[in-house]
Amino acid sequence: MLHYAFFSFFLLLLLPFSRQYLKLAEFHFPQNMKGRSFMFMSVLLCATFHVSFSIIDGLVANGNFELGPKPSELKGTVVVGGSDSIPEWKISGFVEYIKSGQKQGDMLLVVPEGAYAVRLGNEASIMQRISVMKGMYYSITFMVARTCAQEERLNISVTPDWGVIPIQTLYTSSGWDPIAFGFKAESATVELLIHNPGKEEDPACGPLIDSVAIRTLFPPKATNKNIIKNGDFEEGPYIFPNSSWGVIIPPNIEDDHSPLPGWMVESLKAVKYIDSDHFSVPQGKRAVELIAGKESAIAQVVRTIPGKTYVLSFSVGDASNSCEGSMIVEAFAGKDTIKVPYESKGKGGYKRAALKFVAVGIRTRIMFLSTFYTMRSDDFSSLCGPVIDDVKLVSLRKP
């Protein structure tokens, strides 16, 4: 029995390094289980230890494609060695292995991380099987760049979830956008598939893919202190630590398996998820930047009591990314609205705002959008906008 105690103590020392430890801290044993709690906890810790260290937030296996085909499996840049030519991946169709600095006509192909990326030609795809925990939520973040086609798009799926992501809009001047996709694991092993459905005359006119990563999501719940779920935006997709681009949350994302738990992107254009390591964030570590005017909106439907008075409060600021000028954030709570002006100098800062309203139904839609389109003053090809953070919704006992 002594070796069980020692092993459990050892695991307890390691568990704080796992994000899943935070969830274990909320577990409580009933009174009639106290006699068995030690052994049960030991088993639970062992299981959690295995999961925590097998599902690590970051790149999937060979997610940056630095391990490539053998020279005999390449014909120029085209992979011809079969479906297993790129380690850890299954490939199908016209797939190219691209080296940073390679030219295509007058265009120089740049790789955002490391030295290599893959390009998906007509009907080409890459697939990897990933071990996960059944029933948990995850987000995939990957870097994508458009090459010569104007209407490029990607199908991304993690069975049974799938989505079509348009990539004709470029949100960064580098040409590379980090894009997120959320899913719920229906089994212990899932298949991540990224597919180019394009049919261009030139099969090489497909998107470049690099840096595929995963992050475990813990969808937050509403509380008596905040009816809004994930109002501080701390729960969201993986952000690459060595990039200053943030992460693009694509348009028309539903809330069931959103990479931004609790929130929907109800717009034609994306929003940007940012972190305090690279941007100015009003509160905590993460926030959302509304980068495409009225075409860039986030929303959440909350439970309310008809006739009851509520206060919606939030922070409006700028990301300290040279996004300068007059900005206005429009906030909606059902049929009520408020416009919050913010004069940005592009160097960080924020202000608080509040909207008091009376609920008219059992559900109320909360939505935020930016009135204007804004471009960075130091980069006229990069969209930017006001930052939203620290969103709170509470009811008033005495209006």
Residue 116 binned pLDDT confidence (cut-offs 50, 70, 90)? very high
Return the number of other C-beta atoms located less than 10 Å from residue 304's C-beta: 22
Q: Distance (Å, rounded) from C-alpha 353 to C-alpha 283? A: 14
Top mean pLDDT of 15-29, 177-191, 256-270 is at: 177-191
- What's the pTM value of the predicted model, to 2 decimals? 0.84
Please say if the pLDDT value at position 346 is more than 50.
Answer: yes
Check if 58-215 and 219-395 are the same fold.
yes
List CB contacts of 74: < 8 A, sequence separation 6 or more.
80, 81, 97
Q: Does domain 58-215 have CATH number 2.60.120.260?
A: yes
Two tokens, residue 113: 């991380």
Residue 399 binned pLDDT confidence (cut-offs 50, 70, 90)? low
Q: What is the pLDDT of residue 109?
A: 78
Residues 245-270: tens digit of each pLDDT: 899 998 877 666 899 999 999 888 89
Two tokens, residue 93: 């169709």
Q: Which residue has the higher pLDDT, 311 or 169?
A: 311
Q: What is the pLDDT of residue 188?
A: 96
Q: If you average pLDDT over residues 273-284, what whole number do you get?
A: 96
Question: Quick one: which H or E segment has residue 49?
Answer: helix 37-54
Least confident of 22-26, 233-237, 367-371, 375-379: 22-26
Considering only CA atoms, which of 214, 212, 350 is closest in space to residue 282?
Answer: 350
Residue 383 binned pLDDT confidence (cut-offs 50, 70, 90)? confident
Please say if the pLDDT value at position 25 is more than 80.
Answer: no
Q: Distance (Å, rounded) from C-alpha 31 to C-alpha 19? A: 27
Q: What is the pLDDT of residue 125?
A: 96
- What one-character DSSP code corresponds to residue 166? E
Q: Does domain 219-395 have CATH number 1.10.10.60?
A: no
Least confident of 17-26, 195-204, 354-363: 17-26
Q: What's the mean pLDDT when you consider all of the chain?
A: 84
Interior CA angle at 163 toward 113 and 93, to 5°? 65
Least confident of 97-106, 138-147, 239-248, 323-332: 97-106
Pairing state between β 363-370 and 324-333 = antiparallel
Please say if the pLDDT value at position 42 is more than 60.
Answer: no
Q: What is the pLDDT of residue 173?
A: 65
Residue 169 binned pLDDT confidence (cut-offs 50, 70, 90)? low
The full set of domain ranges for the chain reads: 58-215, 219-395
Q: Distance (Å, rounded) from C-alpha 143 to C-alpha 260? A: 17
